[in-house]
Amino acid sequence: GSSNPGLTQLQSISNRSVSVILCFVYKVEHGFATASVLKDSSTMVVVEEEIQHLGIFDVDPSLGQFKDHFVYRWNKYIEQKSLIEKYEGSLEEFALGYLKFGFNREPGGIVYREWAPAAQEAQLIGDFNGWDGSNHRMEKNEFGVWTIKIPDSGGEPSIPHNSRVKFRFKHGNGIWVDRVPAWIRYATVDPTRFAAAYDGVHWDPPPSERYEFKYPRPPKPSAPRIYEAHVGMSSSEPRVGTYREFADNVLPRIKANNYNTVQLMAIMEHSYYASFGYHVTNFFAVSSRSGTPEDLKYLIDKAHSLGLCVLMDVVHSHASNNVTDGLNGFDVGQSTQESYFHTGERGYHKLWDSRLFNYGNWEVLRFLLSNLRWWLDEFKFDGFRFDGVTSMLYHHHGINMAFSGTYGEYFSEATDVDAIVYMMLANYLIHSLLPDTTVVAEDVSGMPALCRPVYEGAVGFDYRLAMAIPDKWIDYLKNKTDDDWSMKEIVWSLTNRRYSEKCVAYAESHDQAIVGDKTITFLLMDKEMYSGMSDLQPASPIVERGIALHKMIHFITMALGGEGYLNFMGNEFGHPEWIDFPREGNDWSYDKCRRQWNLVDTDHLRYKYMNAFDRAMNLLDDKFSFLASTKQIVSSTNEEDKVIVFERGDLVFVFNFHPENTYEGYKVGCDLPGKYRVALDSDALDFGGHGRVGHDADHFTTPEGIPGVPESNFNNRPNSFKVLSPARTCVVYYRVEDEAETLDEEMTKEKEAAAATQVEIEEAAIQAVGVIVPMGISDEDELEGTGDSADDDQFLRRKQSCRCIC
């Protein structure tokens, strides 16, 4: 019944081609089934002719040498999916596990179920029974599922909303232990007790307290421009920010900068704050540090009202090692068949100190697939970023691996087929429930077919993160002088991706901002950021270089690095310093675990220039959709001039990385003949530049070479025009058509609207925190200017608007 043609094709292949010979054990009770993990002896016969229809071999014929691998994992996928459909009804119904497990209302009371086959006895305890479970013993069925029904009392639930609960059970050693329920939807910690463990909380608010969504999901953008954010560290104050504060204060900033997607980190509950949310303890619970489930719904609804899609950073690659308040607490030494995790060394990640899932286990599949559906259905997320995919793809988890791109590295005995089958099921499910979704894989290995549809025999992600790009920029900024930068190497790093699989490019994310590393801005300007960012005084050479390269690095990454773009919260305006979560080593300080929005809101600080350019970058894509264009042609990488020229869509990009040379009448190639004008100019006054490029100039093309003979053209382009290319600038040109004047007017109005929004943000910030004197500026400077009329005149000139259409 899906509207997705790919899903229809997959169903057709499944129905026509699969003949299954199964060895399994299944039993059904209470409307749900449990099957044993299939033994190696189980087989599947697939008609050879139908295997030829796996589209991945047409997309990349080189994969044909690994046909046996693809056939094997396709068979495993169809086998698992067929079992689920036969004994659970459908994959979609299977993923409704949260309606059976955990706490759910049924006629006359609350029913609680927990899968814990290793338990010998079990009780439900909590505030409702004084933490005495002797009268609330649970019953176990033959699948290891424990159940208890708590009848209502006087027509009211016996377990009050927002009251604490835990699962108490006795394991094989005769020891009783208390654990947070695996399917718990909210968990909190006693703030008065140091290092206290989390308690499960029964979350079932009355109708008057439930948040009701008001706005529909926005349409899927043709190319995601993602704003990666951490709600907890989004406050300007040294404390944990809340979901509602983020919705009211940060979302308008994201919208004003023309992003179309928000990616939220650290939503799943994690007891260790400094893990950045990646050591999840409670998979169905909203992180309680920032508020309640209803508060998160408010945030997502507010984002939708602004036309922003919301992705969730989901962590299914591993789980926290915590025992008392995490899923690991259910592992008491039983076999892997009765556990969420693998046993022995296979069940532990050596570098992350965390537990690894057994993706071949029926109940693990139910748990994880239901987890995805829970976040989509209950909170209206629009998609996911899957964390740690490389670790899932291989038994070696990518540890000590330097992937060279040789196909044999990806398809061998080192490949974890169970994990791949899980991701295929997950992507099929997500796209079936929400055809207009976006699912991004964090994979550093570059596995082929990761980001092609499942019906082709691929894994099914929509995008992968282009993780090698930030490493290249860090290498250049740390180890090379400007004269040593190679234009060819930069272009190769940005374009080295599989043409048939989409990438999200980024110059830096949260990874590059963690303590011990440096952001691009800090690598460029370092201590000058503390004293040299005042616009009331001339910029030092370090600051001028830093701002210029910050704009160029982020923009060329966006324009050439992928089919989507990502920026981490604060990097758009060059947020200084690193991120350091409160911990014992820094005396539990929040000082560097926040965002200093006052820096970009203060008009006489240069941070505003980087922020304005970031806004213009996104607006350019909003108007010309170059990220979604498949036309990407690099026509020149001139090492001597330090100039890169390329086309994306019908736009022509000219990047001059030379530290000193400005080129007048510089010839650039293009495809279409006609008249070109400036669309975006990093040297404009609005962006902290010198205003050297004339935005009113018309650039007329000249035909090159012999028509129909590309090798006779200029840089293999049939036309060319001449430009002014100042040192350390990037300028984008668009081809003028009949409606160009109207386009100019529309984009001018967009700029004015964005500026008005920024004023509202700044006024709100001032009302919230008062006037803040930013670092590097004295009270005297702030109130009186520099006192130098020439400098004040220069400041006024910089206030002039640029005249490019962005």
Beta 225-230 vs 564-568: how paired, if at all? parallel
Q: In angstroms, what CA-CA distances link 384 with 73, 310, 474? A: 23, 8, 27
- Give, for 664, the enclosing helix (H) or strand (E): strand 663-670
442 classed as catalytic: yes
Upper half-sphere CA count for residue 383 (Cβ side, 13 Å): 25
CA angle 656, 662, 666 (to 5 degrees): 75
Catalytic residue among 79, 92, 325, 387: 387
Q: Is 759 exposed, middle or buried (0-12, 13-18, 19+ CB in 10 A)?
A: exposed
Integer Cα distance of 341 and 347 in angstroms: 6
64 with 57: CB under 8 angstroms? yes
SS3 at position 100: coil
Beta 309-314 vs 383-386: how paired, if at all? parallel
Exposure string over 564-579, b if 16+ CB within 10 A, otherwise e: bbbbbbbbbbbbbbeb
Integer Cα distance of 202 and 285 in angstroms: 11
Integer Cα distance of 626 and 648 in angstroms: 6
Integer Cα distance of 732 and 754 in angstroms: 21
796 Cα distance to chain centroid: 40
Task: Please report, in angstroms and rounded to a whole number, the separation of the first and last CA atoms in the chain.
Answer: 44
590 with 582: CB under 8 angstroms? yes
Provide the token pair at 254. 């994201």
Number of C-beta neighbours around residue 401 at 10 A: 14
- Give, for 478, the enclosing helix (H) or strand (E): helix 468-479
668 with 691: CB under 8 angstroms? no
Beta bridge partners of residue 202, listed in sequence order: 163
Upper half-sphere CA count for residue 517 (Cβ side, 13 Å): 16
Residues 6 or more apart in contact with residue 531 via CB below 8 angstroms: 775, 776
Provide the token pair at 718. 């049939």
741 Cα distance to chain centroid: 37
**Residue entry with tokens 């969730």:** 312
Beta bridge partners of residue 176, listed in sequence order: 170
Upper half-sphere CA count for residue 548 (Cβ side, 13 Å): 25
Catalytic residue among 245, 331, 338, 442: 442
What is Dmax (Cα atoms) for the chain?
91
Q: Of 628, 485, 495, 473, give the one whose Cα is nearest residue 561.
A: 495
387 classed as catalytic: yes
Residues 6 or more apart in contact with residue 350 via CB below 8 angstroms: 399
Integer Cα distance of 602 and 679 in angstroms: 27
Amino acid at 691: G
Q: What is the set of active-site residues? A: 387, 442
